[in-house]
Amino acid sequence: MVMLRTLNSPRIVGGFLILLTFIVMGAVLPWFAPADPRAWQSYPRNLQPSVQHLMGTTNLGQDIFWLLSWAIGNSLLLGAIVAFFSTLIGVIAGLIAGFKGGFVDRVLSFLMDATIAIPSLPILILMASILKGKATLFSISLILIAFNWPFPGRQVRSVALSMRNREFVYLAWFSGESFKNILLSQIFPYLRTWSTANFINTVLVGIAVESSLAVIGLSSADEATLGTMIYWAIKYQAILSERWWWIGPPVVAIILLFVGLFLLASGLERRSQKARGR
């Protein structure tokens, strides 16, 4: 039944197919690369697209097709790490704050509100500039997690506050269920679809922020991501030289990836709203 309802949603199906294509490109194709896609001077420079090089080569002697597949994999990995831990921490903090109340709720709510109020982009730019392009994808992920967990936390807290006085929760308390079991078995099932939608949205946010930092040269210069592909293309004047086959693929990839993630997240969010409205 769940599968049938999913197939009846063009947004979910369309977004899933786009995302699946990118997952195959980023997780499977790099294993078939004839050489390290990141290595410079592996091929003749500035070749136009051809049978041998489907998207041409860069000014650094890299095959753009294989470099793009590697960059997609890194961007998706970063986005998934940020989304997973941000959603996990936010859901746990929101549930505990909403159900415990009192001092615990005040402390967690203060942390959420304070983090949300802090402008994250200037701090990210400052920290990235201090590291001067030496930041790893792992360190960038940690910074993004620190600024993204409060958003799901606030939303889950409001849901927990509205549900903690429901009859089935009281029944679970009187039946002797532990606090952990009530959260996991009684409350979280209502948040499962929403959590998935939030996860996908946060993947989009993580990729967008990292790409923005990379384009201005403040991300990890040692790792290939969609953002760093654009950075190197701009640095070596691909636009002025009209080498569109170099800068075009990562730009188009980011747009299509965002469209796919948006369709999937909005479709799941609509399903979640319909489920809560029953």
Of residues 158 and 218, more confidently modeled: 158
Pick the CATH number of 54-277 from 3.40.50.720, 3.40.50.740, 1.10.3720.10, 3.90.850.10: 1.10.3720.10
Residues 6+ apart with CB under 8 A from 158: 94, 98
- pLDDT value of residue 85: 94
Q: Where are the domains of the chain?
A: 54-277
DSSP state of 30: G
Other Cβ atoms less than 10 A from the Cβ of 3: the count is 7
Average pLDDT, the chain: 83
Q: What is the pTM of this model?
A: 0.85
Tokens of 246: 């170099």
Max avg pLDDT among 87-91, 161-165, 189-193, 238-242: 87-91
Can you give the C-alpha Rg of the chain in angstroms? Answer: 22
Start-end of H helices in 45-166: 64-100, 102-117, 120-131, 137-148, 150-163
Q: Summarize pLDDT for 38-55 with one digit per residue, the tens.
A: 888 888 888 889 888 889
The residue-averaged pLDDT of 102-116 equals 88
Q: Summarize pLDDT for 6-41 with one digit per residue, the tens.
A: 556 788 889 899 999 999 999 999 989 888 888 888
- Residues 44, 57 contacting (CB under 8 angstroms): yes
Of residues 234 and 221, more confidently modeled: 234
Question: Is the pLDDT score of 278 beyond 70?
Answer: no
